[in-house]
A and B are shown apart, each in its own frame.
Chain A
Amino acid sequence: MILAGENLAFGYPGRRVGQDVSLGVHAGEVLALLGPNGGGKTTLLKTLIGLQKPQGGRVFLEGRPLTDFPVSERARRIGYVPQAHAGAFAFSVRDVVLMGRTAHQGLFASPSEADRALAQAKLAELGIAHLGEQPYTMISGGERQLVLIARALAQEPRVIVLDEPTASLDFGNQGKVLRQIADLRSRGLAVLFTTHDPNHALRHADRVALLARGTLLAKGPPADMLTGPRLAELYGAKIHTLHGRKPGDTAFLPS
């Protein structure tokens, strides 16, 4: 396990959101976290990457307690892709990606030529090199999500954590982001993402964890986790399961 939480209890001061969660991700593995709204997915993510102090239990990064790492050391190992937002100032897309290099620089430093070249390469990897000079505030939501992935890649991390990366994206952009996730795995990164779409998890995750009311209902291979009855239990709702001709060709619809 490159990033792992053990017996985590998490939440905000005065409010416990979840407990008894043990969850980790290996290098070269995609882990999807599913669960209903308000079930604690985002809070768990933030606790795992150290943005939120655990109320109980511990988080380990590369086998050492996460608290042993200063924030800049964490940022060189864990890339975080939040849900895209517009931001207050019209920084160029290139500058936003360059912000991913912050943890690699000294306190008073500005991005070097090497940093700029790396940022440009990450933009090219995501197929958005042409956006470099555009103001980040003026591009579409799907493009912003890709820019934030490029920024996380510019951190040169070993783990990438994405908070609902496909939320509010159109069908085409959802596909782009999911292909990127598969691509990250093939490069040996550990990927953890949350999603509201079991179909995404079924097709793109190596393991799935189901989180409801702050506790893990189950975790395991997608084919075992993502079944009609389990999803019905997870969301407390009826689920339509569609089966194709090939075995394992399954899709879910809310009913």
Chain B
Amino acid sequence: MSEAGTVMPARRSQADLVSGLGLALLMLGFGVVLAFSVGRFPVGMGDLLAALWSRISGQPSGLPAATEAVIFNIRGPRVLAAILCGAALAAAGAAFQGLFRNPLVSPDILGASSGAALGAVIGIFFSLGIFGIQALAFAGGLLAVALVYMIGSAIRGSDTVLVLVLTGVVIGALLGAGVGLMKYLADPYNQLPAMTFWLLGSLSGTDKHDLLPLFGPVLAGTLVLFALRWRMNVMSLPEEEARALGLSTGLIRLAIVAAATLVTAASVAAAGVIGWVGLIVPHLARFLVGPDFGRLIPTAAILGGGYLLVIDTLARSAASVEIPLGILTALIGTPFFILLLMRARKSWS
């Protein structure tokens, strides 16, 4: 019972953190190299670094103008968008899984994706420009979650978290019906393919003007999630325990939901609905570095960015036409998830 003789052991999992983060960064680096060197206009690492250096130093790079255009106007923005969207979905997924104390939750649990989808198809239906469609999608995602949260909070006297999830499911189904209605009413030759393509997720239309509206919300939301990392650990306890430990659970939950919804809606507005990333990547990250959100959020974000970048490179290069991202993430995600379940069930359950 005495403290004498008890040596404070080194934090064993420090090694896990280094190797986990290292692996995530490696995957991201691999993704970047692959993304630039694959395509109709391959860009080698040397050219990429030369072009970047010329932007920083102000010296001419000596590269053909076409190469610079590919790097800065076409592929570069798409690479950044893929990384940002993947990071956003993975971080939001990790946050929602902790908040709902359930490792099978994904970022669309409270209707962010369904709301954004409805916003986008309405935009397409009324033939708005790309900016209008993205703005409607972003607003739709935020509004859907706000609605779910308000209804969920109005229902008192029972398990708050369960009520929120059920409300999210119900509202999500309603929004899904709305999407179905818009598709039914849409012009089948012109609008319907655009809607379908958007609903399956794609970064094919991304240019540099898309980056700022994506980067701002993703950075802000992820920073809030990271700042609340220790509170999120405590929030993954049963509600009454978290309160007994001194947490104002209502406020913290609101902050986490708002931040995670912000990044999800921004990502869905930029790239359409991409499933699986927000479900699988947090698992992989938890498998690598454990459930502590201080490690989980950065690892999941980096891993998610690299993962979606590789997927997007496949999407634009594997076939003669663009493959929707949602189809690839499902194709790769399903077997990967089953493998993970079989191999490492004990490490997170």
Which residue numbers of A lie inside 8 Å of B, CB to CB?
A: 12-14, 46, 49, 51, 70-76, 78-80, 82, 85, 87-92, 95, 99-100, 102-103, 105, 107-111, 116-117, 120-121, 124-125, 127, 129, 132-133, 135, 137-138, 151, 155
Which residue numbers of B lie inside 8 Å of A, CB to CB?
A: 1-3, 6, 8-9, 11-13, 98, 101-103, 156-157, 227-231, 233-234, 236-238, 240-241, 243-248, 286, 290-292, 294, 346-349
Known A-B contacts A71-B246, A89-B348, A102-B234; the reply to A82 vs B241 at CB < 8 A is yes
Q: B234: which A residues are within 8 A, CB to CB?
A: 99, 102
Known A-B contacts A13-B157, A102-B246, A133-B13; the reply to A95 vs B231 at CB < 8 A is no
Q: B229: which A residues are within 8 A, CB to CB?
A: 110
Q: B292: which A residues are within 8 A, CB to CB?
A: 91, 95
Q: B347: which A residues are within 8 A, CB to CB?
A: 90, 135
A-B contact number at CB 8 A: 108
Contact of B247 among A80, A89, A102, A117 (CB under 8 A): A102
Report how far A72 CA is from B101 CA in the complex, Å: 22
Q: B236: which A residues are within 8 A, CB to CB?
A: 87-89, 91
Contact of B291 among A12, A82, A89 (CB under 8 A): A89
Q: For the complex formed, measure the closest distance between the CB of A147 and the CB atoms of chain B, giving whole angstroms.
A: 13
Report how far A44 CA is from B308 CA in the complex, Å: 51
Least CB separation from A86: chain B residue:
B349
Contact B245 A82 (CB under 8 A): no
Contact B233 A99 (CB under 8 A): yes
Contact B230 A120 (CB under 8 A): no
Contact of A103 among B227, B238, B245 (CB under 8 A): B245
Contact A51 B244 (CB under 8 A): yes
Contact B228 A108 (CB under 8 A): yes
Report how far A70 CA is from B230 CA in the complex, Å: 19
Q: B237: which A residues are within 8 A, CB to CB?
A: 87, 99
Contact A99 B245 (CB under 8 A): yes
Contact A51 B243 (CB under 8 A): yes
Q: B8: which A residues are within 8 A, CB to CB?
A: 116-117, 120
Contact A89 B286 (CB under 8 A): yes
Q: For the complex formed, measure the closest distance between the CB of A129 and the CB atoms of chain B, giving whole angstroms.
A: 5
Contact B1 A88 (CB under 8 A): no
Report how far A122 CA is from B297 CA in the complex, Å: 29
Q: A111: which B residues are within 8 A, CB to CB?
A: 230
Report how far A10 CA is from B313 CA in the complex, Å: 60
Q: A138: which B residues are within 8 A, CB to CB?
A: 346
Closest 7 CB pairs of A and B: A103-B246, A75-B246, A89-B291, A13-B157, A80-B244, A72-B246, A88-B101
Q: A129: which B residues are within 8 A, CB to CB?
A: 6
Contact A102 B244 (CB under 8 A): no
Q: A132: which B residues are within 8 A, CB to CB?
A: 9
Report how far A143 CA is from B2 CA in the complex, Å: 18
Least CB separation from B229: chain A residue:
A110
Known A-B contacts A13-B157, A49-B244, A125-B1; the reply to A110 vs B294 at CB < 8 A is yes
Q: Return 14 A-B CB contacts under 8 Å, by A number.
A: A13-B156, A46-B240, A51-B244, A75-B245, A85-B238, A87-B237, A88-B103, A99-B234, A99-B245, A102-B231, A103-B246, A110-B230, A117-B8, A124-B2
Q: For the complex formed, measure the closest distance between the CB of B227 and the CB atoms of chain A, giving whole angstroms.
A: 4
Least CB separation from A161: chain B residue:
B244
Q: B349: which A residues are within 8 A, CB to CB?
A: 88, 90, 137
Contact of A102 among B2, B102, B245 (CB under 8 A): B245
Q: B346: which A residues are within 8 A, CB to CB?
A: 138
Contact B246 A76 (CB under 8 A): yes
